[in-house]
Every structure is written in C-alpha cells, then in structure tokens.
C-alpha cells in the first residue's frame, strides 16, 4: 500500500471510532444506574419515563416522574424507606393548614402511580387534622403493622426521611415536594441507591 492509501484507511478508522463512541455516549445518557430513563414531552407535559422490571415479571413497568433521577441527587434521603412502606395500605397525608395547592396533589400522584401498579399496594389520601370534611385522619402516630404513612409537608429542608416508621417528604416549596416524591419512587424502585 502506498502512504496515501494508508492515511485514508487510518482516517476512516478514526471516523468510525468517533461514530461508535458517540453512539455509546448517547445510549449511556439514557441509562441511570442500569435503568432506562427517557425524556417525555407531550401536550405541555414534560417529564421522564423509567423502565423497570419487578417481581420476575417479563414485561417492564414504565414509571412516569417529573424529574430525572440525576436532578434529585442533592436531596438527602433515608435508605430504609422501602421497608417502612411494605404494608397492606399506604396513606399519603398532608396538613390542611399548610394551604397547599395542586402541586402537592402532583407529588401524591407521583407516588400513587408508582406504588399501586408496581407493588399492588392500596394508596389512600388522608389529612393530619380534622377539618370537618369526613376525610381520613392519619399522621405519623397512625402507622401500624398493616398501614404505612407518608406525610408530605412544607418545611425548612428538602429531604425524604423516616421518623418512628413514618416516611416524611419535606420540601421548602411545593415544587420540592414533587422532587421528594420522585426521589421516594426512585429509592423504592432501586433506581437510586
């Protein structure tokens, strides 16, 4: 081979190597701790779908969240959350005096939409205080061997923690409560370790 032909072969190999590396980088961007996470934009909604396999079922579950797990890495959490939620029923409760809006409902729905189909555990709504509307009253003192409680509340910190077998999602804003709910989903699914 002539020098020119060798140079052409080397350049072609280099171009092919760049293409292969680029394809692998794009694939890796869709993975987080081995789970496929894809961005979804549809009719004004923007979020993520995570593909998970659970309970030796061949078909995957697709869990929708508002945030990518990477966006939640700075929020501290208790790694024992999953075991606290392994009950027959989960009550998601809020304090009605905190005057929360629909964003808190989104946080509760993020949890409900993962727990019920993936773990087949009934998720129910509750309040921490009676305001005369016949809602179920549940707080962290209501945890039993059959009932788990997740308290979604505004506070000074952004974190997901446990206190006396109760799971608490605390956020400085309602948007942070949605982040906390998504983080709880990812921790329970094993996406975040």
CATH number, domain containing residue 153: 3.30.379
Cβ-Cβ contacts under 8 Å for 36 (sequence gap 6 or more): 30, 50, 51
**Residue at 19 is within a domain:** no
Tell me if 38 is assigned to some domain: no
Residue 25 pLDDT: 38
Please report whether residue 68 resides in a domain.
Answer: no
Instruction: Report strand pairing: 89-94 vs 166-171.
Output: unpaired
* Radius of gyration of the chain, Cα coordinates, nearest whole angstrom: 22
pLDDT beyond 70 at 40: yes
Burial class (CB in 10 A: 0-12, 13-18, 19+), 31: exposed
Q: At what angle do helices 102-119 and 174-189 cross, to 10 degrees?
A: 10
Between the alpha carbon of residue 88 and those of residues 109, 115, 119, 144, the distances in Å are 18, 11, 10, 10
Look at residue 42 in the predicted model and tell me its pLDDT: 86
Write down the pLDDT at residue 193.
Answer: 84
pLDDT per position as a tens digit, 148-171: 999 999 999 999 999 989 999 999
DSSP 134: -
Domain assignment present for residue 97? The answer is yes
Structural domain span for residue 130: 76-189
- pLDDT the model gives residue 4: 65
pLDDT bracket for residue 22 (50, 70, 90): very low
pTM summary value:
0.81
More confident residue, 114 or 138: 138
Q: Is residue 54 part of a domain?
A: no
Q: Is residue 116 part of a domain?
A: yes
State the total domains in the chain. 1
Per-residue pLDDT tens over the stretch 82-100:
899 999 999 999 999 998 8
Instruction: Using the CB atoms, write b or e for 67-78: b if 16+ within 10 Å.
Output: bbbeebeebebb
pLDDT, tens digit, for every residue of 103-133?
A: 888 899 889 988 888 888 899 999 999 888 8
């Amino acid at each position: 081979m002539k020098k020119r032909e060798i140079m052409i072969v080397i350049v072609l190999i280099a171009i092919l190597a760049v293409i292969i590396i680029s394809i692998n980088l794009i694939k890796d961007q869709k993975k987080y701790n081995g789970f496929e996470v894809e961005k979804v934009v549809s009719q004004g909604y923007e979020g993520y779908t995570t593909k998970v396999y659970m309970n030796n079922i061949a078909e995957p579950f697709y869990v929708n969240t508002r945030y990518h797990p990477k966006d939640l890495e700075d929020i501290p959490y208790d790694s024992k959350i999953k075991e606290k939620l392994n009950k027959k029923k989960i009550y998601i409760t809020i304090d009605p005096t905190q005057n929360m809006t629909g964003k808190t409902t989104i946080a509760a729905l993020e949890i409900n939409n993962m727990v019920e189909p993936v773990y087949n555990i009934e998720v129910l709504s509750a309040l921490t205080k009676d305001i005369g509307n016949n809602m179920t009253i549940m707080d962290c003192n209501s945890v039993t061997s059959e009932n788990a409680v997740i308290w979604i509340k505004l506070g000074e910190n952004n974190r997901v923690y446990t206190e006396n077998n109760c799971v608490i999602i605390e956020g400085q804003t309602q948007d942070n409560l949605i982040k906390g709910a998504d983080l709880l989903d990812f921790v329970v699914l094993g996406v975040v370790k």
